[in-house]
Chains A and B, each alone.
Chain A
Amino acid sequence: MKKNTVFVQGNEACVLGALYAELDLFAGYPITPSTEIAELLSERLPQEGKYFMQMEDEIASICAIIGASLTGSKVMTATSGPGFSLMQEALGYAVMAEIPCVIVNVQRGGPSTGNPTHVSQGDVNQARWGTHGDHSIITMTASNHQDVFSVTVDAFNLAETYRTPVILLFDEVIGHMREKLILPEKDEIKLIKRLKTEVAEGVDFRPYLPRDDGRIPMADFGGVHRHNVTGLFHDMWGFPSNNPKIVDGLIHHLVDKINNNINTIAKVKEFHIDDARTIFISYGASARTARHVVENRRSRGERVGLLELITLWPFPSHIIREKCRKARFVIVVEMNFGQILKEVKACIDEPEKVFLANRVDGVLITVQDIRKILRIVQGKGI
């Protein structure tokens, strides 16, 4: 055994990733199936002289992390669907005010309080469009604990790089399942530090003035620079403005800073894609089932492959279009009514070759479920 091997739940892998990324403050309201994240951090953060705040609800939780982030801390909250719904207003505030933060949603069945202890992937579109108004957002997911750890670290890095909220969209199966995780050594994964302003005390500080590379340095709130933070459209001093030129510039900036960097942000894992006639597209727990089918069929010489999405938003359309060009069938495997299916159909040259293998009853989609769809798609009957 490698000395840094652990056997943990997915929620704990997320906690270990957050601590590796130097999380300073967590504020949250525990909810199944994300509870272990709050539980473990309530123990670990104070041990390291950092902060755990048990809040009265999810609205307070996200507001607390937004405030703490402004003061220079790396922050995170964790919830599930019902709590994520409550967070949408403040999530939009963090988008508009460009405040780095990480929001974990370990998905359960919905809508409403739904199916707390069972798996779902029904919040994919909520992560994209849950808060109102045009915006862009980064959302990532994972199907195994090694990836849960690394995408959690990535989430903190992306939040700092692009000054944006980043959503980690896990699911009940991944959150609760236990499996092996090999902890990276310190410095093995590069950490992005907060870009702080070099403007000296007493000099006019413009909190929303980008550098040449597009990144916007921040000043710790409560520090030497007094500045305004608002959810209204604002000028480079952070003061409200409805000047069409400023509004137009800001909304384009908010969308473009993410969409224009999709090649850097978007991550997709490929398994046996090159000569695949049938390509599965999946993510999270569903991708484990899809991978099972793919490896099994490959061992018998069948030309099937899997594209596993790590980045859900911005949607990696360019990669999907390119990789699926030669495939005869594309089967999207997910536990909802086709939220990613619609994105795949929209970006692919021949949308009529795209099919859905799904399950929405709170049970992890099985190998048999996928096999059945595969037979129908291939014209073999059930």
Chain B
Amino acid sequence: MRDKYRMVFSGSGGQGIITAAVIISEAAVLYENLNAVQTQSYGPAARGGSSRSDVIISKSEIFFPKVIQPNTLICLTQAAYNEFSGIVRPGGILITDSKYVSIEKKVDADQIEIPIYDTVKKEIGNPVVFNICLLGVIIKIKQIVKKESIIKVMEQRIPAGFLNMNIDAIELGMSMTSAIKNEI
């Protein structure tokens, strides 16, 4: 992997973006010997308004814990897209879900529109694993952590009866896209 990944997950409360941010960070720390710092917005914003979680994953020690310019920006609502799309680092990637976000402006980033929600609904039937499918998309596009590391974290966090559905969601996400080679 590159030395440092800066990611911002944005959307609305209940979409599971904070859980997704915690899982990928924990996978990096516990199973890939990397450093990670995760922060999130608290309060009213996280309960209906635009919610946001910042993640830095790095080979070296991380000091300033927030993300000013993400290499990877994920926007899962129109409001989050409108608020945050301008912060993506030039040359970075902006991932949106085509069900929730219609791309309105051009940013200096690779814009990747993927119908994650609709595909999860169709292939798995339960939208609860929407956020896990998103992780599959992210780790396929950028090889930040291995699928196996994420599954190990989920084994600890997710009730056994739901684990297989979550593993299916990761694999589904990985099948929906391809890797980006010229990452910044």
Contact = CB atoms under 8 A, between A and B. Distances in A.
Contacts of A285: 65
A1 interface: yes
Interface string A1-40: 1000111000000000000000000000000110000000
A291 B63 contact: yes
Contact of A5 (B30, B42, B63): B30
A176 interface: yes
Contacts of B43: 32, 116-117
Interface residues of B, number: 22
Q: For the complex, would chain A's binding face be called helix, strand, loop or mixed by DSSP majority?
A: mixed
Q: Which of B37, B42, B64, B68 has most chain A Cβ within 10 Å?
A: B64
B38, B40, B41: most-surrounded residue (chain A CB, <10 A): B38
A364 B65 contact: yes
Contacts of B38: 177-179
A1 B26 CA distance: 12
- Secondary structure class of chain B's binding surface, majority of residues: mixed
A256 B38 CA distance: 42
A179 B29 CA distance: 8
Interface in B37-63: 37-43, 62-63
Contact of B64 (A33, A116, A180, A366): A366
Given A5-B29, A32-B42, A289 B64 contact: yes
Interface in A148-194: 172-173, 176-180
B65 A173 contact: yes
B27 to A, nearest CB: 9
Interface string B137-148: 000000000000
Contact of A292 (B29, B36, B41, B64): B64
A295 B37 CA distance: 18
Contacts of B29: 1, 5, 7, 179-180
B39 A177 contact: yes
21 contacts: A1-B33, A5-B30, A7-B22, A7-B25, A7-B29, A7-B30, A32-B43, A117-B42, A176-B39, A176-B40, A177-B37, A177-B65, A178-B25, A178-B39, A179-B29, A179-B38, A179-B65, A180-B36, A285-B65, A289-B63, A367-B68
Interface of A: 1, 5-7, 32-33, 116-117, 172-173, 176-180, 285, 288-289, 291-292, 295, 364, 366-368
What 8 A-B pairs have minimum CB-CB distances, sorted nearest first?
A: A117-B43, A117-B42, A292-B63, A292-B64, A7-B26, A178-B38, A291-B63, A7-B29
